[in-house]
Amino acid sequence: MSSAVEIQNLKISFPKKQILNGVNLSVNKGSFAALIGANGAGKSMLIKAVCGLQKFTGNIKILGKDLKEANKNLIGYAPQNNTADKNSPVSVYQAVSVGRFAKNGIFKKFGEEDKKIVDNAIRIAQIEYIAASPLGEISGGEAQKVSIARVLAQQPEIILLDEPQANLDPNSQKTFLNFIEKLYLSFKFTCLMVTHDIDMIPKCCEKVFMLKDGKIVLDTDNKDIKQKAREYGIY
Ligand SMILES: Nc1ncnc2c1ncn2[C@@H]1O[C@H](COP(=O)(O)OP(=O)(O)O)[C@@H](O)[C@H]1O
Ligand SMILES: [Mg+2]
Protein backbone atom coordinates (compact mmCIF):
# COMPACT_ATOMS: atom_id res chain seq x y z
CA MET A 1 0.00 0.00 0.00
CA SER A 2 1.57 3.31 -1.00
CA SER A 3 1.37 6.24 1.32
CA ALA A 4 -0.28 9.56 0.50
CA VAL A 5 1.22 11.43 3.43
CA GLU A 6 4.42 10.30 5.04
CA ILE A 7 5.97 12.22 7.90
CA GLN A 8 9.39 11.44 9.31
CA ASN A 9 11.01 13.04 12.33
CA LEU A 10 8.90 16.20 12.07
CA LYS A 11 9.99 18.91 14.47
CA ILE A 12 8.45 22.33 14.96
CA SER A 13 9.69 24.77 17.54
CA PHE A 14 9.35 28.39 18.55
CA PRO A 15 12.03 30.30 20.46
CA LYS A 16 10.61 29.37 23.85
CA LYS A 17 8.72 26.23 22.98
CA GLN A 18 9.17 22.91 21.23
CA ILE A 19 5.78 21.98 19.75
CA LEU A 20 6.55 18.81 17.77
CA ASN A 21 9.57 16.74 18.63
CA GLY A 22 10.02 13.93 16.11
CA VAL A 23 6.63 12.98 14.72
CA ASN A 24 6.43 9.93 12.47
CA LEU A 25 3.26 8.88 10.73
CA SER A 26 2.03 7.54 7.44
CA VAL A 27 -1.43 7.71 5.88
CA ASN A 28 -2.12 5.16 3.16
CA LYS A 29 -3.44 6.31 -0.18
CA GLY A 30 -7.24 6.25 -0.19
CA SER A 31 -7.56 5.70 3.54
CA PHE A 32 -9.20 7.74 6.30
CA ALA A 33 -7.08 8.55 9.34
CA ALA A 34 -7.67 10.63 12.45
CA LEU A 35 -5.16 12.65 14.43
CA ILE A 36 -6.23 13.14 18.03
CA GLY A 37 -4.69 14.86 21.01
CA ALA A 38 -5.53 17.41 23.68
CA ASN A 39 -5.91 21.11 22.92
CA GLY A 40 -2.51 22.66 22.39
CA ALA A 41 -0.85 19.33 21.49
CA GLY A 42 0.23 20.66 18.10
CA LYS A 43 -2.34 19.04 15.80
CA SER A 44 -3.05 22.19 13.81
CA MET A 45 0.68 22.89 13.46
CA LEU A 46 1.23 19.42 12.07
CA ILE A 47 -1.54 19.84 9.49
CA LYS A 48 -0.22 23.26 8.47
CA ALA A 49 3.24 21.79 7.98
CA VAL A 50 1.77 19.17 5.62
CA CYS A 51 0.17 21.99 3.58
CA GLY A 52 3.46 23.88 3.40
CA LEU A 53 2.13 26.65 5.65
CA GLN A 54 4.39 26.03 8.63
CA LYS A 55 8.20 25.82 8.85
CA PHE A 56 9.57 22.53 10.14
CA THR A 57 12.54 20.22 10.12
CA GLY A 58 12.30 16.57 9.13
CA ASN A 59 10.69 15.03 6.07
CA ILE A 60 7.20 15.21 4.65
CA LYS A 61 6.36 13.26 1.53
CA ILE A 62 3.16 13.75 -0.46
CA LEU A 63 2.28 10.84 -2.75
CA GLY A 64 5.91 9.79 -2.70
CA LYS A 65 7.39 13.22 -3.44
CA ASP A 66 9.19 15.51 -1.05
CA LEU A 67 6.84 18.33 0.03
CA LYS A 68 9.08 20.91 -1.67
CA GLU A 69 8.62 19.24 -5.05
CA ALA A 70 5.10 17.95 -4.50
CA ASN A 71 2.13 19.46 -6.27
CA LYS A 72 0.34 21.34 -3.46
CA ASN A 73 -2.82 21.48 -5.58
CA LEU A 74 -3.29 17.85 -4.66
CA ILE A 75 -3.89 18.84 -1.04
CA GLY A 76 -7.21 20.32 0.03
CA TYR A 77 -7.15 21.95 3.45
CA ALA A 78 -10.08 23.03 5.60
CA PRO A 79 -8.58 25.04 8.48
CA GLN A 80 -9.84 25.14 12.05
CA ASN A 81 -12.21 27.98 13.01
CA ASN A 82 -12.67 29.23 9.49
CA THR A 83 -15.47 31.59 10.44
CA ALA A 84 -15.63 34.50 8.02
CA ASP A 85 -15.35 38.15 8.79
CA LYS A 86 -18.89 39.23 9.70
CA ASN A 87 -18.67 42.05 7.16
CA SER A 88 -17.31 39.96 4.31
CA PRO A 89 -19.09 40.78 1.05
CA VAL A 90 -17.75 37.57 -0.57
CA SER A 91 -20.55 35.17 -1.46
CA VAL A 92 -20.67 31.48 -0.64
CA TYR A 93 -20.44 30.77 -4.38
CA GLN A 94 -17.28 32.87 -4.69
CA ALA A 95 -15.76 31.23 -1.63
CA VAL A 96 -16.32 27.77 -3.12
CA SER A 97 -14.89 28.95 -6.47
CA VAL A 98 -11.59 29.62 -4.68
CA GLY A 99 -11.16 25.82 -4.82
CA ARG A 100 -10.83 26.07 -8.60
CA PHE A 101 -8.07 28.70 -8.29
CA ALA A 102 -6.33 26.46 -5.77
CA LYS A 103 -6.44 23.76 -8.45
CA ASN A 104 -5.56 25.80 -11.55
CA GLY A 105 -3.58 28.75 -10.19
CA ILE A 106 -4.97 32.28 -10.12
CA PHE A 107 -4.17 33.17 -13.72
CA LYS A 108 -6.29 30.58 -15.48
CA LYS A 109 -9.66 31.86 -16.66
CA PHE A 110 -12.66 30.54 -14.74
CA GLY A 111 -14.44 28.55 -17.47
CA GLU A 112 -17.56 26.47 -18.04
CA GLU A 113 -15.92 23.33 -16.67
CA ASP A 114 -14.93 25.18 -13.46
CA LYS A 115 -18.48 26.43 -13.09
CA LYS A 116 -19.83 22.89 -13.39
CA ILE A 117 -17.42 21.61 -10.77
CA VAL A 118 -18.29 24.45 -8.36
CA ASP A 119 -22.04 23.87 -8.87
CA ASN A 120 -21.53 20.20 -8.19
CA ALA A 121 -19.50 20.81 -5.00
CA ILE A 122 -22.23 23.18 -3.77
CA ARG A 123 -24.88 20.56 -4.48
CA ILE A 124 -22.94 17.78 -2.72
CA ALA A 125 -22.37 19.97 0.33
CA GLN A 126 -26.09 20.86 0.32
CA ILE A 127 -25.54 24.60 0.42
CA GLU A 128 -27.47 25.64 -2.73
CA TYR A 129 -29.90 27.61 -0.58
CA ILE A 130 -27.12 29.96 0.60
CA ALA A 131 -25.01 30.06 -2.58
CA ALA A 132 -25.74 33.77 -3.09
CA SER A 133 -25.45 34.76 0.59
CA PRO A 134 -22.50 36.78 1.86
CA LEU A 135 -20.11 34.69 3.98
CA GLY A 136 -20.65 37.10 6.88
CA GLU A 137 -24.30 36.10 7.13
CA ILE A 138 -24.07 32.33 7.43
CA SER A 139 -23.91 30.16 10.56
CA GLY A 140 -20.85 28.29 11.89
CA GLY A 141 -22.20 24.96 10.63
CA GLU A 142 -22.87 26.40 7.19
CA ALA A 143 -19.38 27.90 7.12
CA GLN A 144 -17.93 24.43 7.73
CA LYS A 145 -19.90 23.09 4.77
CA VAL A 146 -18.71 25.96 2.58
CA SER A 147 -15.16 25.10 3.56
CA ILE A 148 -15.71 21.45 2.62
CA ALA A 149 -17.36 22.48 -0.69
CA ARG A 150 -14.33 24.64 -1.50
CA VAL A 151 -12.05 21.69 -0.85
CA LEU A 152 -14.24 19.44 -3.03
CA ALA A 153 -14.17 22.01 -5.85
CA GLN A 154 -10.40 21.77 -5.74
CA GLN A 155 -10.67 18.03 -6.51
CA PRO A 156 -7.66 17.19 -4.37
CA GLU A 157 -6.31 13.71 -3.77
CA ILE A 158 -5.67 14.39 -0.11
CA ILE A 159 -8.06 16.19 2.22
CA LEU A 160 -6.92 17.63 5.54
CA LEU A 161 -9.71 18.59 7.91
CA ASP A 162 -8.81 20.46 11.08
CA GLU A 163 -11.57 20.03 13.71
CA PRO A 164 -14.31 20.34 11.09
CA GLN A 165 -17.07 19.86 13.67
CA ALA A 166 -15.67 22.19 16.32
CA ASN A 167 -18.15 25.05 16.00
CA LEU A 168 -21.26 22.89 15.82
CA ASP A 169 -23.82 21.96 18.45
CA PRO A 170 -23.89 18.24 19.39
CA ASN A 171 -26.79 17.38 17.05
CA SER A 172 -25.24 19.09 14.05
CA GLN A 173 -21.92 17.41 14.91
CA LYS A 174 -23.42 13.97 14.34
CA THR A 175 -25.08 15.07 11.09
CA PHE A 176 -21.83 16.62 9.94
CA LEU A 177 -19.91 13.48 10.75
CA ASN A 178 -22.31 11.38 8.68
CA PHE A 179 -21.86 13.88 5.88
CA ILE A 180 -18.05 13.56 5.96
CA GLU A 181 -18.33 9.80 6.07
CA LYS A 182 -20.66 9.70 3.06
CA LEU A 183 -18.34 11.96 1.10
CA TYR A 184 -15.38 9.78 1.87
CA LEU A 185 -17.21 6.58 0.93
CA SER A 186 -18.36 8.10 -2.39
CA PHE A 187 -15.09 9.71 -3.46
CA LYS A 188 -12.41 7.66 -1.68
CA PHE A 189 -9.91 10.48 -1.38
CA THR A 190 -7.23 10.21 1.28
CA CYS A 191 -8.36 11.98 4.43
CA LEU A 192 -6.54 13.06 7.56
CA MET A 193 -8.95 14.54 10.06
CA VAL A 194 -7.90 16.30 13.22
CA THR A 195 -10.09 16.21 16.28
CA HIS A 196 -9.67 16.60 20.03
CA ASP A 197 -13.00 14.77 20.49
CA ILE A 198 -12.76 10.97 20.30
CA ASP A 199 -16.52 10.71 19.72
CA MET A 200 -15.99 12.53 16.44
CA ILE A 201 -13.95 9.76 14.82
CA PRO A 202 -16.13 8.29 12.06
CA LYS A 203 -16.60 4.55 11.54
CA CYS A 204 -14.90 4.69 8.14
CA CYS A 205 -11.68 5.79 9.88
CA GLU A 206 -9.06 3.04 9.68
CA LYS A 207 -6.18 4.55 11.59
CA VAL A 208 -5.87 6.74 14.63
CA PHE A 209 -2.76 8.66 15.63
CA MET A 210 -2.47 10.13 19.10
CA LEU A 211 -0.25 13.14 19.61
CA LYS A 212 1.20 13.86 23.04
CA ASP A 213 4.28 15.71 24.24
CA GLY A 214 5.31 16.42 20.68
CA LYS A 215 5.24 12.80 19.51
CA ILE A 216 2.86 10.18 18.19
CA VAL A 217 2.42 8.00 21.25
CA LEU A 218 -0.06 5.65 19.65
CA ASP A 219 -0.52 4.56 16.04
CA THR A 220 -3.43 2.15 16.01
CA ASP A 221 -6.51 0.79 14.24
CA ASN A 222 -9.85 2.40 15.06
CA LYS A 223 -10.80 0.12 17.94
CA ASP A 224 -11.29 0.83 21.66
CA ILE A 225 -9.87 4.29 21.17
CA LYS A 226 -11.33 5.68 24.38
CA GLN A 227 -9.69 3.01 26.46
CA LYS A 228 -6.37 3.33 24.65
CA ALA A 229 -6.43 7.10 25.05
CA ARG A 230 -7.06 6.71 28.76
CA GLU A 231 -4.10 4.34 29.04
CA TYR A 232 -1.89 6.96 27.48
CA GLY A 233 -3.35 9.64 29.73
CA ILE A 234 -4.50 11.72 26.80
CA TYR A 235 -7.97 12.49 28.13
N1 LIG B 1 3.24 31.56 16.68
C2 LIG B 1 3.37 30.81 17.77
N3 LIG B 1 4.39 30.99 18.64
C4 LIG B 1 4.54 30.21 19.74
N5 LIG B 1 3.72 29.21 20.06
C6 LIG B 1 2.68 28.99 19.25
C7 LIG B 1 2.44 29.76 18.06
N8 LIG B 1 1.33 29.28 17.46
C9 LIG B 1 0.89 28.27 18.23
N10 LIG B 1 1.68 28.10 19.29
C11 LIG B 1 1.53 27.07 20.34
O12 LIG B 1 1.71 25.80 19.75
C13 LIG B 1 0.98 24.83 20.46
C14 LIG B 1 0.24 23.94 19.49
O15 LIG B 1 -0.79 24.67 18.86
P16 LIG B 1 -1.83 23.97 17.91
O17 LIG B 1 -1.13 23.24 16.83
O18 LIG B 1 -2.79 25.02 17.49
O19 LIG B 1 -2.53 22.94 18.91
P20 LIG B 1 -3.82 22.03 18.69
O21 LIG B 1 -4.30 22.23 17.28
O22 LIG B 1 -3.39 20.62 18.98
O23 LIG B 1 -4.84 22.49 19.69
C24 LIG B 1 0.08 25.58 21.42
O25 LIG B 1 0.60 25.46 22.70
C26 LIG B 1 0.15 27.02 20.94
O27 LIG B 1 0.01 27.90 22.00
MG1 LIG C 1 -5.99 22.96 16.53
Q: Which of 11, 44, 213 to mutate to test the pocket of ligand 1 (most atoms within 8 A of CB)?
A: 44
Question: Which ligand 1 atom sits nearest the alpha carbon of residue 45?
Answer: 17
| 140 C-alpha to ligand 1 centroid (Å) | 22
- For residue 165, the SS3 value is coil
15 lines ligand 1 (CB under 6 A): no
* 112 class by beta-carbon count within 10 Å (0-12 exposed, 13-18 middle, 19+ buried): exposed
Reported as a single tens digit per residue, the pLDDT across 82-91 is 666 778 889 9
Q: Whose CA is nearest to atom 3 of ligand 1?
A: 14
Tell me what the pLDDT averaged over the chain comes to. 92
* Measured distance CA(204)–CA(186) in Å, rounded: 12
Ligand 1, atom 24: nearest CA belongs to which residue?
40
What is the per-residue pLDDT across 44-65, written as a single tens digit (0 to 9) for each? 999 999 999 999 999 999 999 9
Q: Is the pTM of this model over 0.85?
A: yes
pLDDT digits (tens, 9 = 90+) for 215-225: 999 999 999 99
Q: What is the sign, positive or negative, of the torsion defined by CA atoms of 227, 177, 205, 212?
A: negative
Q: Are 187 and 32 in contact (CB under 8 A)?
A: no
Residue 124 Cβ < 6 Å to ligand 1 = no
Cα Rg for the chain, rounded, in angstroms? 18
When divided into structural domains, the chain yields a total of 1
State which residues form the domain around 191: 3-231
- At residue 232, the pLDDT reads 82
Give strand pairing partners of 221: 207
pLDDT 10s digits, 173-187: 888 888 899 989 988
Here the CATH number for the domain that contains residue 79 is 3.40.50.300
Contacts of 25 (CB under 8 A, 6+ apart): 5, 6, 7, 35, 209, 216, 219
Centroid of ligand 2 to alpha carbon of 87 (angstroms): 25
The length of the chain is 235
Cβ(167) to ligand 1 under 6 A?
no
CB-based contact 192:51 (threshold 8 Å): no
Indicate whether residue 17 lines ligand 1 (CB < 6 A). yes
**For residue 235, pLDDT beyond 70:** no
Q: Is the CB of 40 under 6 A from ligand 1?
A: yes
